[in-house]
Amino acid sequence: MFANRAYQKGGEPAHHDPTNEMKHADCLIERILFAAAILASEEEHIDRLNVRCELIRSAGLQKKRQLQLGWCLPGGRSAAANIAFVTYGTPAPQDPLDADAIAAALRAAHAPVSLAVVATCGSTNAELLVRAAAGAPSGTALACETQTAGRGRRGRAWIAPTGGSLAFSLLWRMPRAGAALAGLSLAAGVACIRALEHCGVHGVALKWPNDIVHGGSKLGGILVEAVPGADGSAIVCGVGVNTRLSGDAREAIGQPSTDVATLAAAPPSRTALLAALLVELAAAMERFAADGFAAFRDAWLARHAYQGETVRVVLADERCVDGRAVGLAEDGALLVEHAGRIERFHSGDVSLRPAA
Three-class SS of the chain: CEEEEEEECCCCECCCCCCCCCHHHHHHHHHHHHHHHHHHHHCCCCCEEEEEEEEEEEECCEEEEEEEEEEECHHHCEEEEEEEEEECCCCCCCCCCCHHHHHHHHHHCCCCCEEEEEEEECCHHHHHHHHHHCCCCCCEEEEEEEECCEECHHHCEECCCCCCEEEEEEEEEECCCHHHHCCHHHHHHHHHHHHHHHCCCCCCEEECCCEEEECCEEEEEEEEEEEEECCEEEEEEEEEEECCCCHHHHHHHCCCECCHHHHCCCCCCHHHHHHHHHHHHHHHHHHHHHHCHHHCHHHHHHCECCCCCEEEEEECCCCEEEEEEEEECCCCCEEEEECCEEEEECCCCEEEEECC
Q: How high is the pLDDT of residue 45?
A: 44
Class in CATH terms, 310-354: mainly beta
Residue 200 CA: distances (Å) to CA of 2, 99, 160, 264: 40, 22, 22, 6
Query: Lowest mean pLDDT: which of 68-77, 132-141, 235-244?
Result: 68-77
CA dist., res. 48 & res. 37, Å (int): 7
Per the model's pLDDT, the better-predicted residue between 258 and 33 turns out to be 258
Q: Over range 193-222, report the average pLDDT.
A: 95
Burial class of residue 240, CB neighbours in 10 A (0-12, 13-18, 19+) = buried
Per the model's pLDDT, the better-predicted residue between 41 and 177 turns out to be 177
Query: Lowest mean pLDDT: which of 10-19, 160-169, 268-277, 331-340?
Result: 10-19
Query: For the segment 47-67, what is each residue's pLDDT rounded down to a tens digit?
Result: 444 444 443 333 333 444 444
Q: Over range 311-319, report the average pLDDT.
A: 84
Q: 2-33 burial, b if ≥16 CB within 10 A, otherwise e? A: ebebebeeeeeeeeeeeebebeebbeebbeeb
Residues of the chain with CATH 2.30.30.100: 310-354
Q: How far is CA 353 from the centre of its chain?
A: 22
Pairing of strands 114-121, 140-147: parallel
Q: How high is the pLDDT of residue 152?
A: 57
CA dist., res. 64 & res. 25, Å (int): 11
Q: Over range 102-129, report the average pLDDT.
A: 96
Query: Lowest mean pLDDT: which of 154-163, 233-242, 316-325?
Result: 154-163
List all residues 6 or more positions away from 146 whose beta carbon is below 8 Å from its beta carbon: 61, 90, 119, 120, 121, 160, 162
Query: Lowest mean pLDDT: which of 64-68, 100-104, 168-172, 208-212?
Result: 64-68
| Mean pLDDT value across the chain | 79
Give me the residues paired with residue 257 across strands.
218
Q: What percent of the chain has pLDDT over 90?
A: 53
Q: How high is the pLDDT of residue 87?
A: 39
Q: Is the pLDDT of residue 20 over 80?
A: no
Q: How high is the pLDDT of residue 92?
A: 52
CATH 3.30.930.10 fits 99-302, yes or no: yes
Q: Is the pLDDT of residue 3 over 60?
A: no
Q: Over range 249-258, report the average pLDDT.
A: 79
Q: How high is the pLDDT of residue 179?
A: 87
Q: How high is the pLDDT of residue 240?
A: 95
Query: For the segment 191-205, what is each residue's pLDDT rounded down to a tens digit?
Result: 999 999 999 999 999
pTM: 0.72
Residues of the chain with CATH 3.30.930.10: 99-302
Q: How high is the pLDDT of residue 346?
A: 87
Q: Is the pLDDT of residue 266 over 80?
A: yes
Q: How high is the pLDDT of residue 155?
A: 55
Q: Is the pLDDT of residue 210 over 50?
A: yes
